Amino acid sequence: MSTEQKYDIIIVGAGAAGLSLATSIAESSELKDKRVLLLDQTKKSGNDRTWCFWEDGTGRYDDILTQSWKNVYFHSNYVSRRLGLSTYSYKMLRSNDFYEYTLGIIDASDNVTFAIDRVIDIDAQQGKVVCKDHTYVSDLVFSSKIPDAIDFSNYLYTDQHFGGWFVEFDNEVFDLEAATFMDFRIDQDNEHRFCYMLPLSARKALVEVAVFSNSHQTKEGYDSILKKYIKDYISTAPYSIEEREYGVIPMTNYPFWNHNNGKLYHIGTAGGAVKPSSGFAFRRIQQHTDEIVKCLISKRSINNSYKIFRGRHLLYDSIMLHVLEEQKIPGDKVFSDLFEKTDVDVILRFLDGDTSWNGDLQIMKAPAKWPFIKGMFKVISPLK
């Protein structure tokens, strides 16, 4: 029987959320006395995913970004625009650079330990994490493992599933100064679909299709959409596919924080960090990380950190999900109205959950109002 090893903080899962939290604690002078254990059954490396996010001004990961843009394209059958960002930049970060950067900080720290072990069980009341090789105990456990037995029946839920290619053309075809944020010109097939394109050079780019539905494509299905999109809207010139990526992101207004219990708190997707209306998560993980660290420093309850996922912006997200999924309003029309009638920086700030009431009103005036009024009355009661 293995003896219990005691830590001040245990972090289960070394993905984006776990690594972000462990790194922020390691870099905090106020938390240098905290003994922290980061647990995962593997130490991640390589480009297994790509994160995109927008940020106002400079950010902590600017030095390791793959690319960033001050201009974005929006396309649909209703409107096509090249939009300049005022204060925001649209940023792309590949996982290999993120893993190398954060693990380097953790390895160099005096108070954060990375242990490779498989978690078998977590006792929330005792703060005990039982693993294959050892058992660990802590006053605070942060876990990125999705809670068991979640019932979404009283909440909105849809998947954002996607497939992407990193392509390189034989000649120059891309506008390096602008990313394609959303392109709805592809066949919607009774779903909400758009492509986006992130140029890395005049010849290379990530081209990806995102679908909002619970009917997933096969890899061949995503590939077929991408092949047609490139031919129809980028170039008919020869190109090669360097890498492929596929994945699923849950989009829901489910209150994951209700599963926080005893000494256990959930982070990342498991903590509600995925934006319900868009599927973006990386920036919200960073915001949540900052709030957790503030709570640790001030010795306030960690529950305070989840306030950023709640409030009126959760209501807005829920209404948007209801409009798209329950009322079957075409997504290309909703977003076309937004991008045609509203400043792009206001839209990005709204999607970040960071608008003032004035910004909220600008967003609300853009699309047809009745579906959103109907959605508000439908979703307001289950939110907690």
Residue found under tokens 């005096």: 110
Round to whole Å and give the CA distance between 363 and 320: 12
Last residue of a domain, one of 294, 309, 324: 309
Give the chain's mean pLDDT. Answer: 89
Last residue of a domain, one of 309, 325, 350: 309
Residue found under tokens 């979640």: 150
- DSSP calls for 27-41: H-GGGTT--EEEEES
Round to whole Å and give the CA distance between 360 and 170: 45
- DSSP calls for 150-193: ---TTS-EEEEEEEEEEEEESS----TTEEEEEE--S--TTSEE
Looking up residue 119, the CATH number of its domain turns out to be 3.50.50.60
Is the model's pLDDT at 369 over the cut of 50?
Answer: no
In the chain, pLDDT over 90 holds for what percent of residues?
A: 71
pLDDT value, residue 24:
98
Are residue 257 and residue 245 in the same domain, yes or no? no
Last residue of a domain, one of 290, 309, 328: 309
Is the model's pLDDT at 64 over the cut of 70?
Answer: yes
373 vs 144: which has the higher pLDDT: 144
Is the model's pLDDT at 198 over the cut of 60?
Answer: yes
Q: Is residue 78 part of a domain?
A: no
Are residue 23 and residue 101 in the same domain, yes or no? yes
The 10s digit of each residue's pLDDT in 289-342 is 999 999 999 999 999 999 988 776 666 677 766 666 654 566 777 788 888 878
Are residue 226 and residue 321 in the same domain, yes or no? no
Dihedral of alpha carbons 169, 97, 281, 40, sign: positive
- Give the chain's radius of gyration (CA, Å): 21
Task: Find out whether 185 and 305 touch, Cβ atoms under 8 Å.
Answer: no
pLDDT value, residue 107:
96
Q: Is residue 62 part of a domain?
A: no
Looking up residue 194, the CATH number of its domain turns out to be 3.30.70
State the average pLDDT over residues 19-32. Answer: 98
Are residue 17 and residue 103 in the same domain, yes or no? yes
pLDDT value, residue 335:
81
Are residue 126 and residue 191 in the same domain, yes or no? no
Are residue 132 and residue 258 in the same domain, yes or no? yes
Q: Is residue 72 part of a domain?
A: no
Are residue 274 and residue 361 in the same domain, yes or no? no
Are residue 131 and residue 206 in the same domain, yes or no? no
Nearest-CA neighbor of 196 among 206, 124, 310, 187?
206
Are residue 337 and residue 360 in the same domain, yes or no? yes
- Beta strand pairing status for 36-40 and 4-12? parallel
Q: Is residue 384 part of a domain?
A: no
The 10s digit of each residue's pLDDT in 212-222 is 888 999 999 99
Are residue 143 and residue 287 in the same domain, yes or no? yes
Phi-psi region of 268 (alpha: psi -120 to 50; beta: other; left: phi over 0): left
Six-digit token pair at 223? 């590939």
The 10s digit of each residue's pLDDT in 235-280 is 999 999 999 999 999 989 899 999 999 999 999 999 999 988 777 8
Q: Is residue 68 part of a domain?
A: no
DSSP type of residue 118:
-
Are residue 21 and residue 111 in the same domain, yes or no? yes
Q: Is residue 128 part of a domain?
A: yes
Q: Is residue 300 part of a domain?
A: yes
Are residue 106 and residue 218 in the same domain, yes or no? no
State how far Cα 243 lies from the chain centre: 21
The structural domain count of the chain equals: 3
363 vs 59: which has the higher pLDDT: 59
Q: Which of 19-23, 60-64, 148-152, 202-206 has the lowest mean pLDDT?
A: 148-152
Give the domain extent around 11. Answer: 4-48+93-152+253-309
The 10s digit of each residue's pLDDT in 72-90 is 999 999 999 999 999 999 9
Q: Is residue 60 part of a domain?
A: no
